[in-house]
Amino acid sequence: ASPATAPTAVTDVPVPVSPASPSQPPKMSSPQDFTFLKELGCGSWSTVMEAVHRGTGKRFAVKILSKAQLIKQKKVKYASVEKDALAKLSGTHPGIVKMYAAFQDETSLYFVLDLAPHGDLADLVKKQGSLSLRCARWYTAQIVDTVLWIHSKGIVHRDLKPENVLLDPDMRIKLTDFGSAYLSPDGDLSPRASTFVGSAAYVSPELLNRASKTTSNSSDFWAIGCSLFFMVAGHPAFAAINDYQSFRKIEALDYTFPEGFYDSAKDLVQRLVVLDPSERLGVEPKSSPAELRAHAFFTATSGDTDTPIRWDTLW
């Protein structure tokens, strides 16, 4: 993958702030309104830079997508889906990365986003080896709350994985990377035809299956189960030497829990990582979001110092 060409980075230099006049809000409509500091990460067709807004001195993450790359790799739709999803969801829920502005110049598209200074959930788990029961419960609850919210807005993420769960300054989650999302024109998220989207170790079997290849909000529930497995085990459930082997394991539901995997987490994973999309916990009409929220993983506690999830004060 070739990343977008990012503006020249400036490091360790005091950033001048040019205050706007009281009557005019500070402008955020071109790359010249920002001083670019350093590269935060690199996606398949984008570069994400930390940048300071010259008008306010505030720091943001600016995702830069090269137009030439998008056209060459036939990913123009990816960029417009990401922008549309963020425009619809931005500022509506604390678990979703906020988009402050979107603009373009001759070469690139720019999305100005919340800066997530602590990296992503995958990095956290890799650093720690695995997460404690309490910590895995807190992060899973935030992911569930955020995913249920986006579904209520008629959007399926379809590429949910720990790498797309960023961590804000308070170590709470910010879901990002909506380029593979499905946006229902009418809010209806019942199963429908789809092309392959997602990432090898987290993609649901129905998106792999050549015959059915359907998408519905159920694919995100599969990915929540896989993400919980990863947090507790420290490695993906369907990790393999290549994507093809991962896909084979997914279709055969071939994974094993390592020793010491918390019982309540195991039960939740087993109810989410289910081959039949209609049988997953939380998926209507056989189950419901309320049933998912009420699962013992969130409500039962292991001792005096442990607390159950309070969904009303989660954030």
By the criterion CB under 6 A, which residues form the site for ligand ATP? 40-46, 48, 61, 63, 97, 113-116, 120, 163-164, 166, 176-177, 179
Among candidate residues 204, 192, 161, the one with its CA nearest the CA of residue 179? 161
Helix (H) or strand (E) holding 231: helix 218-233
Spot the catalytic one: 33, 114, 120, 159.
159
- Give yes or no: 159 in active site: yes
**Nearer CB in complex with ligand ATP: 51/268:** 51
Cis peptide bond N-terminal to 285, omega within 30: yes
Q: How many residues does the chain have?
A: 315
Q: Residues near 40 by Cβ (< 8 Å), separated by ≥ 6? A: 48, 49, 50, 61
**Nearer CB in complex with ligand ATP: 20/87:** 87
Helix (H) or strand (E) holding 126: helix 121-128
**Nearer CB in complex with ligand ATP: 40/109:** 40
297, 268 Cβ separation under 8 angstroms: yes
Residue, CB closest to ligand ATP:
43
Minimum CB distance to ligand ATP, residue 265 (Å): 25
Minimum CB distance to ligand ATP, residue 295 (Å): 29
Q: Residues near 213 by Cβ (< 8 Å), separated by ≥ 6? A: 193, 194, 195, 196, 206, 207
**Nearer CB in complex with ligand ATP: 75/280:** 75
Minimum CB distance to ligand ATP, residue 176 (Å): 5
167, 118 Cβ separation under 8 angstroms: yes
Say if residue 314 is exposed, middle or buried (CB neighbours under 10 Å; 0-12, 13-18, 19+). middle
Minimum CB distance to ligand ATP, residue 166 (Å): 5
Minimum CB distance to ligand ATP, residue 72 (Å): 14
**Nearer CB in complex with ligand ATP: 81/141:** 81
40, 51 Cβ separation under 8 angstroms: no
Q: DSSP code of 216? A: -
Active site residues: 159
